[in-house]
Structure 1
Amino acid sequence: MLTKDKVHQLIDHMPENVSTEDLIGKIILLQKIEIAQKEIVDGEGTDWDDLKKEVESW
């Protein structure tokens, strides 16, 4: 879950004159990373070997 504290940390590490678009983009990226990490913990991720086989089939 994306918490206010994590957003504060993100903002603290950004330049002083950050654009709204860049800030929103970083927040969305952080949220997607957190969702992906939860999926991995819950066993919903794709195994690396399975992913390589799928890419090879393209």
Structure 2
Amino acid sequence: MKKEKAIETIRELPAEFDLDELIEKLIFVDKVDKGLKQIEDGKIVDHNEVKEIVKKW
């Protein structure tokens, strides 16, 4: 995560917040960013592939 993204996330929080709330929000934003990057890179699994993977469980 870039520092600018973390600062932006902090600015969106109210004046007083719980530290756990900040950590959860930063983790969420980071995971979303990583997921979007995977989509850009073509690292996706389509619905039918997921169904086949789940059948093997």
- Give the TM-score band, short-chain normalised: 0.7 to 0.9
User: Is 1:32 matched with 2:52?
Assistant: no
- C-alpha RMSD of matched pairs (Å): 1.8
1:32-55 superposed Cα distances (whole Å, 9 cap, x missing partner): 00110111111111225655x56x
Q: Distance in 2 between matches of 1:47 and 1:20?
A: 37
After the TM superposition, which segments of 4 or more aligned residues of structure 1 sit over 2 Å from their partners?
46-51
Structure 2: runs of 5 or more not aligned = none
Q: Distance in 2 between matches of 1:3 and 1:50?
A: 33
User: Which ranges of structure 1 fall in alignment gaps of 5 or more residues?
Assistant: none
Relative to the length of structure 1, the TM-score reads: 0.75
Task: Work out whether 1:46 is the aligned partner of 2:40.
Answer: no
Q: Percent identity?
A: 30
Pairs aligned (count): 55
Aligned to 1:12: 11
